[in-house]
Chains A and B, each alone.
Chain A
Amino acid sequence: MSGIDLINVVKRFGALTIIDKLNLAIAEGEFVVFVGPSGCGKSTLLRMIAGLEEISDGELRIAGNRMNETPPAKRNIAMVFQSYALYPHMNVERNLGFALETARLPTAEIRERVTKAAKFLKIDHLLERRPAQLSGGQQQRVAIGRALVRQQKLFLFDEPLSNLDADLRMEMRVEIARIHREVKATTVYVTHDQMEAMTLADRIVVLKDGFIAQIGTPMELYERPANRFVASFIGSPRMNFLPGLLAREGEESVLSLSGGRHRLAAHDYAGDVTLGIRPEDLMLGGGEATLEAEVLLVEPLGGESLVHLNVGDGRSIVVKAQGKPNIRPGTTTLVGWKHERAHLFGKDDRALLPGRT
């Protein structure tokens, strides 16, 4: 058992409340990603689990035991830092073995565990080097190795890939997924990159201003965002938003946009709404619902293109189209979508579903 339970957890710095009564249960062996814009409290939350930040109120349980007052080293947690935080004066071997050395393990066992971890991470040829003599990716591997040798049941990652360039980031992302598959430790991973979150997570926790905006599997968050914030945060390019008005007409609801009226299944809600459609759900030329739009710019990306359209009132939307569509800036085109791929958000930015408020 090495699940994590956060129960009504609060973090205050003086009069400022960073995290307010947060509840979250992480199952054993699960890979959970905390994602959110900077300042949303995701790192603070991770550091509270690690024991590097005090918990102002509420309870943290690891494997069912209260951990609020337990010092970090006794929580059976291994952590990887954003800056890698390798000890600059020690070679890779000592960096890897330092925690075990501190725990006074026999030298032979330290050696064995270090060798095993180094092989696993493909850094066994670097054991004599100092951190300064390693590339960013190699340093990252050492940092992960330092967590691995401790053979803990719980791994914490604090934005581990944000200092790497794009190529390496992808490589290490795959590597971290492999490690999780083989080690099966419960993992909490903090990032501001929704791509990392989508590819790595069993479940994603989207945080905003110290609140949980939504918890769910990557596909749940993508398909059914609970609110406008999650909708715009998950997915790239961002979801398009258009203002509209929703009114009940008998057995149907009618959505009025500046470009036309659309009949939808009955909603209990009536009033101002925001229509959200992902760029990849928009089609050029037609669909169940359509708008007329002026082509502003076509950005070919190779296999697909981003088409920027002006739908009136100076509002622009982005369409992701296959290949390179044969349209020119300045011309007018029809853009459409399927109703089932459209998301509606009420005045409080919460997602609206048919028949529900």
Chain B
Amino acid sequence: MVRSRANRRLHRIAIYSLFTVVALYTLFPFYWMIASSLKSGQAIFDVTFLPDLKFNNYEAILSDGVFLRSLMNSLIVAASVVVLSLGLAIAAAYALGRIDFRGRSPIMFLFLAVSMFPQIALLSGLFEMIRWLGLYNTLGSLIFAYMIFTLPFNIWVLTTFMRSLPRQIEEAAIMDGCSPLRIVRCIFLPMMGPALMSTGLLAFIASWNEFMFALTFILTDENRTVPVAIALISGSSRYEFPYGAIMAASTIVTVPLIVLALLFQKYIVSGLTAGAVKG
């Protein structure tokens, strides 16, 4: 069918206007956050869409030792969760994806079931475990707790990915004299690059943003992670709520994630679809 010129133009306008609406809907909150962070004092309560480009909120928040400390804590927690959960998930995925043993699928479904529990349901039990392990009010408690939701997802994605790797390559490696460890390290890991990137990044984002466990398991300011630290930012008096500072802190926390996501965008999509579509 040949479309008339006017028709084609109409079609294009429709697509672009839809695109604009979606972009506005998703990006406006970010824009508002950044714009507000760049206004100072009373200006924040005026509805103006253009920022003032005043950086005193950033100065304030970056000279705050507690906030910098919590930024560091978040980095430690998120990075540890990524490294630990990827390491464990790779080992589990090799077993679940490559070795035949009885009870494999029940185990897979158990993992899935674990990831379905609402966080709040786990909270009190997990709290007891953490106290018993002596991890209360340490970063270790958060690393321990976050693995509960990052591991099942990582194991699922990596297992399906591992299954999609050709069996003959593994057999060729066996004939070449590789131990299972060497097969995983030298053959599978490099082939799983995209899947590792995407699962690692998602684990990082999840641990970076988590709030409830971070609020519950940490008692003192110097061990807090960023989401809680931001929530607890308070003004000089109880009648002042420092919107500007909160917005500046949120921006600082969000930007690294956006940069990471943009950098690894290609891998995230290919990693998540690789298990599903053969080829």
Contact = CB atoms under 8 A, between A and B. Distances in A.
Interface of A: 50, 52, 72-73, 77-79, 81-83, 85-89, 98-99, 102-103, 146, 150
Contact of A102 (B169, B177, B190, B191): B177
B176 interface: yes
A146 to B, nearest CB: 8
A88 B191 contact: yes
A52 B177 CA distance: 12
A153 to B, nearest CB: 14
Contact of B176 (A52, A82, A89, A98): A98
A103 B177 contact: yes
At the interface, is chain B mostly helix, strand, loop or mixed? Answer: helix
Contacts of A72: 174-175
Contact of B174 (A73, A87, A89, A98): A73
B178 interface: yes
Interface residues on B, range: 10 to 19
A89 to B, nearest CB: 4
B161 to A, nearest CB: 14
B187 interface: yes
A150 B172 CA distance: 13
A102 B176 contact: yes
Nearest to A104: B177
Contacts of B174: 52, 72-73
A4 to B, nearest CB: 16
A81 B168 contact: yes
B166 interface: yes
B172 A102 contact: no
Nearest to B174: A72
Contact of B175 (A78, A82, A86, A88): A78
A71 to B, nearest CB: 8
B112 to A, nearest CB: 28
A85 B190 contact: no
A73 B168 contact: no
A102 B175 CA distance: 11
A50 B186 CA distance: 22
Interface in B151-195: 166, 168-169, 171-178, 182, 186-187, 190-191
Contacts of B186: 98
Contacts of B166: 83, 85
B191 A83 contact: no
A85 B176 CA distance: 12
A99 B169 contact: no
Contacts of A87: 169, 172-173, 187
Contacts of B182: 102
A83 B176 contact: no
A269 B227 CA distance: 93
Given A78-B175, A89-B191, A99-B175, 15 more contacts: A73-B174, A73-B175, A77-B175, A79-B172, A81-B171, A81-B172, A85-B168, A85-B169, A87-B169, A87-B173, A88-B169, A88-B191, A89-B190, A99-B177, A102-B176
Q: Which of B166, B177, B182 has the most CB of A within 10 A?
A: B177
B172 A85 contact: yes
A102 B171 contact: no
A79 B177 CA distance: 12
A83 B171 CA distance: 11
15 contacts: A72-B174, A73-B174, A73-B175, A73-B178, A83-B166, A83-B168, A85-B169, A85-B171, A85-B172, A87-B173, A89-B190, A98-B176, A102-B178, A146-B176, A150-B176
Contacts of B175: 50, 52, 72-73, 77-79, 99
A190 B184 CA distance: 29
B185 to A, nearest CB: 11
